[in-house]
């Protein structure tokens, strides 16, 4: 009797590992009827509505829905006789294979374009599916550089790539620390070991070294399993670095901030690059004093823009929650598709693709110009800005044109 668990466990471990990803039957959500003909035009929205990234995924789906509602209220697509938009939402569960099959389903049900998906691995699969079916795909969030290095012609990306994020992150650090008279010299890096953390770290390191900083200790970790960072932070403390750069997700970001407070290393700054925790509205509340002074260089909704403020208010009224940046990107992705439909005057995917490629659209994000796509499909004006947690709030601090308040540097932990 005691031996029976061995085969059972052998069966069960792969099952449970798989269950972390895909489990619910596909097609639980979505549109009833095919679109693209008649008076409604269907746009497919692919986001992780359940699973570990559900908080962002649901925000993004809400953001896309708000864009659809706003466009419909304003009279729909005028060049198509006031055709109404309809959002067909699908749950990728954060799993690449589910994302792929859901993308295929939405296309078969008549979606003229897809927006999504948050996880780079999922976006990669959806991009391949979109290309095969020749349906435009506008990526709201997904940083991996490779997605747009496959020569795809139907895929476009709104958020800045990992390369841009890392480069600008290093530049802002150099500029802010120099302006404060305490130039950053030795930077220790703590990054999650997946493609996201690695790509950000590589471009950050290259740019930082070019700007005369030394990148010393580089520590990687597994974001899925890590439960404590005190050992890693002690290693950073012993290495004598004056800045700690962190690239990771929400849960691990919280653990890092707590460990920094516990260990208390002598740092000038804890500096996130595209960090999934440090610039979220939830972060200061969760970690309290440990979050004070923490920087993050990341793409960001531009809260100094009155239109963005309006959207944030609407979001809070509709969903009773603070809007995250990811929701704005999904909102923009739908607007890009709607704007292209308007200019193309046609729901034919090929015509739509050409129209998207010529987009010139004002953005609600902090970026250096309107949304416009390069040859490869990157948003050429996308850029990160620098944020800092000050008095329990995430504030835009640099570059000056987006700054709500000047940065505080040095910002040693436990400020």
Is residue 11 part of the contact set for other proteins (CB under 8 A)? Answer: yes
254 backbone φψ class: left, alpha, beta (φ>0; ψ -120 to 50): alpha
Q: Pick from 235, 305, 309, 376 the residue near other proteins by CB under 8 A.
A: 235
HSE toward the beta carbon, residue 91, CA cutoff 13 A: 18
244 and 190 Cβ atoms separated by less than 8 Å: yes
Is residue 8 part of the contact set for other proteins (CB under 8 A)? Answer: yes
Is residue 5 part of the contact set for other proteins (CB under 8 A)? Answer: yes
In whole angstroms, the minimum distance from the beta carbon of 283 to other proteins comes to: 9
Q: Pick from 42, 115, 254, 270 the residue near other proteins by CB under 8 A.
A: 254
Q: By C-beta, is 287 or 312 nearer to other proteins? A: 287
Is residue 29 part of the contact set for other proteins (CB under 8 A)? Answer: no
In whole angstroms, the minimum distance from the beta carbon of 197 to other proteins comes to: 11
Q: By C-beta, is 287 or 334 nearer to other proteins? A: 287
C-alpha 368/C-alpha 182 separation (Å) is 28
Q: By C-beta, is 73 or 227 nearer to other proteins? A: 227
Is residue 317 part of the contact set for other proteins (CB under 8 A)? Answer: no
Residue 332's Cβ-count burial label (10 Å; 0-12, 13-18, 19+) is buried
98 and 26 Cβ atoms separated by less than 8 Å: yes
C-alpha 387/C-alpha 298 separation (Å) is 8
Q: By C-beta, is 8 or 415 nearer to other proteins? A: 8
Is residue 238 part of the contact set for other proteins (CB under 8 A)? Answer: yes
Is residue 290 part of the contact set for other proteins (CB under 8 A)? Answer: no
94 backbone φψ class: left, alpha, beta (φ>0; ψ -120 to 50): left
Residues binding other proteins: what is the number (CB under 8 A)? 57
Is residue 312 part of the contact set for other proteins (CB under 8 A)? Answer: no
Distances (CA, A) of 105 to 99, 122, 161, 306, 312: 10, 15, 28, 38, 32
Is residue 276 part of the contact set for other proteins (CB under 8 A)? Answer: no
Q: Pick from 286, 346, 354, 404 the residue near other proteins by CB under 8 A.
A: 286
Q: By C-beta, is 86 or 319 nearer to other proteins? A: 319
In whole angstroms, the minimum distance from the beta carbon of 412 to other proteins comes to: 15
Is residue 186 part of the contact set for other proteins (CB under 8 A)? Answer: no
Please give the structure tokens belonging to residue 191. 């990054």
Binders of other proteins in range 42-71 (CB under 8 A): 50-52, 54-55, 57-58
Instruction: Please name which of 201, 212, 144, 214 lies closest in space to residue 169, comparing C-alpha atoms.
Output: 201
Is residue 376 part of the contact set for other proteins (CB under 8 A)? Answer: no
Binders of other proteins in range 204-233 (CB under 8 A): 219-222, 224-228, 230-232
Is residue 13 part of the contact set for other proteins (CB under 8 A)? Answer: yes
In whole angstroms, the minimum distance from the beta carbon of 63 to other proteins comes to: 14
Q: Pick from 69, 97, 202, 321 the residue near other proteins by CB under 8 A.
A: 321
C-alpha 212/C-alpha 177 separation (Å) is 13
Which parts of this chain interact with other proteins (CB under 8 A)? 1-5, 7-9, 11-13, 15-17, 19-20, 23-24, 50-52, 54-55, 57-58, 193, 219-222, 224-228, 230-232, 234-235, 237-238, 250-251, 254-255, 258, 261-264, 282, 285-288, 321
């Amino acid at each position: 009797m005691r031996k029976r668990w061995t085969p059972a466990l052998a069966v069960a471990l792969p099952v449970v590992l798989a269950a972390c990803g895909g489990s619910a039957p596909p097609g639980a959500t979505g549109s009833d009827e095919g679109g693209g003909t008649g008076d409604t035009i269907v746009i497919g929205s692919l986001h992780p509505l359940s699973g570990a990234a559900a908080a962002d995924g649901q925000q993004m789906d809400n953001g896309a829905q708000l864009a659809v509602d706003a466009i419909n209220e304003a009279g729909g697509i005028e060049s198509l006789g006031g055709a109404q938009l309809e959002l067909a939402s699908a749950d990728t569960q954060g799993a690449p294979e589910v994302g792929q099959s859901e993308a295929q389903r939405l296309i078969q049900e008549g979606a003229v374009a897809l927006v999504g998906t948050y996880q780079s691995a999922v976006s990669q699969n959806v991009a391949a599916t979109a290309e095969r079916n020749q349906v435009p795909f506008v990526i709201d969030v997904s940083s991996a550089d490779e997605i747009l290095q496959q020569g795809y012609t139907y895929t476009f990306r709104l958020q800045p790539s990992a390369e841009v994020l890392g480069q600008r992150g290093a530049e802002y650090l150099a500029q802010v620390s120099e302006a404060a008279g305490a130039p950053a010299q030795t930077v220790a890096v703590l990054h999650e070991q997946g493609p996201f953390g690695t790509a950000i770290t590589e471009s950050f390191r290259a740019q930082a070294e070019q700007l005369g900083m030394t990148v010393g200790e580089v520590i990687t970790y597994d974001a899925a399993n890590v439960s404590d960072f005190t050992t890693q932070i002690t290693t950073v403390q012993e290495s004598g670095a004056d800045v700690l750069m962190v690239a990771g997700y929400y849960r691990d970001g919280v653990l890092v901030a707590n460990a920094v407070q516990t260990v208390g290393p002598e740092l000038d700054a804890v500096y996130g690059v595209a960090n999934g925790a440090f610039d979220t509205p939830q972060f200061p509340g969760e970690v309290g004093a440990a979050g004070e002074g923490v920087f993050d260089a990341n793409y960001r909704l531009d809260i100094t823009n009155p239109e963005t403020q309006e959207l944030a208010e609407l979001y809070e009224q509709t969903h009773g929650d603070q809007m995250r940046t990811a929701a704005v990107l999904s909102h923009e992705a739908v607007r890009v598709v709607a704007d292209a439909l308007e200019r193309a005057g046609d729901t034919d995917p090929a015509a739509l693709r050409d129209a998207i490629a010529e987009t010139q659209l004002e953005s609600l994000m902090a970026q250096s110009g309107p949304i416009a796509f390069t040859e490869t499909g990157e948003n050429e004006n996308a850029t990160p800005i620098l944020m800092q947690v000050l008095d329990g709030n995430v504030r835009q601090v640099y570059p000056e044109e987006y700054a709500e308040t000047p940065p505080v540097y040095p910002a040693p932990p436990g400020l």
